Amino acid sequence: MNVIEVILTRRSIRKYSNREIPPKVIANLLEAAMYAPTARNSQSWQFVVINKRQLLNDLAEIHPYGKMLEHAPLAILVCGDKMKEDSEGYLSQNCAAATQNIMLAAHSLGLGSVWLGVYPKENRIEPISKRLKLPGYVLPMALISLGYPDESKPKPGRFAREKIHYNDQWYK
């Protein structure tokens, strides 16, 4: 699959088969994450790999949209390292780029994924930080549910010319 095909065909997958994700595949996902661009090359992220069933179940209870974690074999929490980045605005952008890289790499490797937003919701940040015993300088940004798909979804039509503008011309 080429990169354009990966981007256009990736969907949020919430149903997974009962198949473990090999360590080599997990390493590929994390390597892809660490090749995302960052402001001033700060690489201001940390990653928590979650594959213990009880932790996945606990996170499914904590996150209001995380029920699929009860059946996922793996999740990756993308976190911002406040000690590596001076501006919190860049921290969220850096982590968003890493999150997207993980999800695109997952799709290219035959995995399904869902992006579960954490930051800036304090009612998600605090309990996730507490449950995973994150140090105070680590801010959870996004939780990614991962697994081999047990569902498929068609490509929706999202391209909209009316959302494209050139230079100083705003088209209606």
Structure tokens at 93: 């952008």
Please give the C-alpha separations between residue 34 and each of 69, 86, 96, 159, in angstroms, as whole numbers: 24, 19, 12, 29
Every domain of the chain and the residues it spans: 13-151
3-state secondary structure of 93: helix
- In tens, the pLDDT along 34-93 reads 999 999 999 999 999 999 999 999 999 999 999 999 999 999 999 999 999 988 789 999
| C-alpha–C-alpha distance, residues 133 and 104, integer Å | 28
Q: What is the DSSP letter of 72?
A: -
Topology of domain 13-151, CATH:
NADH Oxidase (3.40.109)
**3: its two tokens:** 């990169």
Give the number of other CB atoms < 10 A from CB of residue 59.
24
Please determine, for residue 172, whether its predicted confidence score (pLDDT) is greater than 80: no
pTM score, whole prediction: 0.96
Distance from C-alpha of 169 to C-alpha of 24, rounded to nearest angstrom? 48
Q: What is the average pLDDT score of the chain?
A: 96
| Of the candidates 7, 10, 5, 6, the residue with the CA atom closest to the CA atom of residue 153 | 10
Per residue in 4-34, pLDDT (tens digit) is 999 999 999 999 999 999 999 999 999 999 9
